[in-house]
Amino acid sequence: MPKPLENIRVLDLTNVLAGPFCCHQLAHMGAEVIKVEAAGRGDLARQLGADPALNEAGMGVSFLAQNAGKKSVTVNLKHPRGKALFMRLLQTADVLVENFRPGVMDRLGLGYETLRQTRPQLIYCAISGFGQEGPWIHRPAYDQIIQGASGVMSITGDAQSAPQRVGYPVSDTVGGLTAAFAVAAALNAPNRGAFLDVSMLESVLATMGWVVSNHLIAGQEPAPQGNENPTSAPSGTFEAADGPINIAANKDEQWVLLTDHLGLAALRDQPEYANREARKTNRLALRAALETVLKTRPARDWAKELNALGVPAGAVLTVPEVLAMPQVTERGFLSHFEDVAGVGRGIDVVTTGIKLDHAPLTVPTPPPQLGEHAGEIWGALGVSEDELEELQKEGAI
């Protein structure tokens, strides 16, 4: 069956993570995504990642992670002929995604109000750290800056370790997902054509609904909770014989099942654990009591038994461990590409976590080399090989 976004063309003018991650989702949903990269250097992510040789080759791991299935051309938007060529490409596009600082596209003469004059049905998505207006719009907005500004770091860790950054670029990723959702929704409008202003700061705050609402509505000061679930107890991370285990006995019946299975039914008779609120108040003492038994056996054994009883539990895995689990390997979450150009070997990359009609969403091609599709894309606009060569010599592409 056709994918939802087949026959949709997206111009991806983005760099590093938030924008490329947005377009990564759109590509897997079937859109034709054309990376329009800066002539001579391309997406900065091409130089980032844990493999220096790939960085040097312009195929850094950070680029490979979210650019499979896309096509690449280069253009100098400051060059008159480069800008003119871009405008020709724009006439074939349904969506444009950019994550420049606010005002950059306007200064290039390529802002939304200009582009809509010739392409009124264009969906223009601008991703930025703080949105397109407000006193902070000219601040640099890397992921960690947003993590700090949003309050995420203030509630991550425990009372001794907070503030802590989340262990992956959560602000960029959430911003990209928010943008992809907004683009997909705008494509469904009866009359296409919209300007989408996606703020990474607000996107992250929107995902913090419980924390924010407990402050706004209940007057609770947000605070770091470590590995404890502030809404219930016992619910959090506990030590087993070989490492940590997560247990979420959030319901009273799960609390009964857990204590019975651990041989600690007597805890239920103690007033400090008599109900949910009492257990929350005394959660640290309760955790210590449960760990006297949990530490006698391995985490995965406990998890298997507790899940069978109806008490949610799971060992705390490393990234390599979970990637090797049948739950991941058997669902087609990873895509493999053989002998990738510019890499010199096969690579595995993540997809989206979505299955469509029981099949994982995949893309047919690996991440592209810089400008790999120049002949295909510019040629389809009527640009001859001689003209391409001339444009390259002039620095327009």
Q: Provide the annotated active-site residues.
A: 172
Token digits of residue 219? 């007057």
CA-angle at 86, arms to 80 and 87, nearest 5°: 90
* DSSP string for residues in 140-184: ---HHHHHHHHTTGGGSS-TTT-S---SS-HHHHHHHHHHHHHHH
Q: What is the C-alpha R_g of the chain?
A: 25
To the nearest 10°, report the CA torsion of 76, 78, 83, 85.
Answer: -30
Distance in angstroms (rounded) separating the CA atoms of residues 141 and 129: 5
Burial level of 114, CB count in 10 A (0-12/13-18/19+)?
middle
CA-angle at 366, arms to 363 and 371, nearest 5°: 120
- Specify whether the CB–CB gap between 73 and 34 falls below 8 A: yes
Half-sphere exposure of 334 (CA within 13 A, CB side): 16
CA-angle at 343, arms to 337 and 345, nearest 5°: 55
Token digits of residue 151? 């309050």
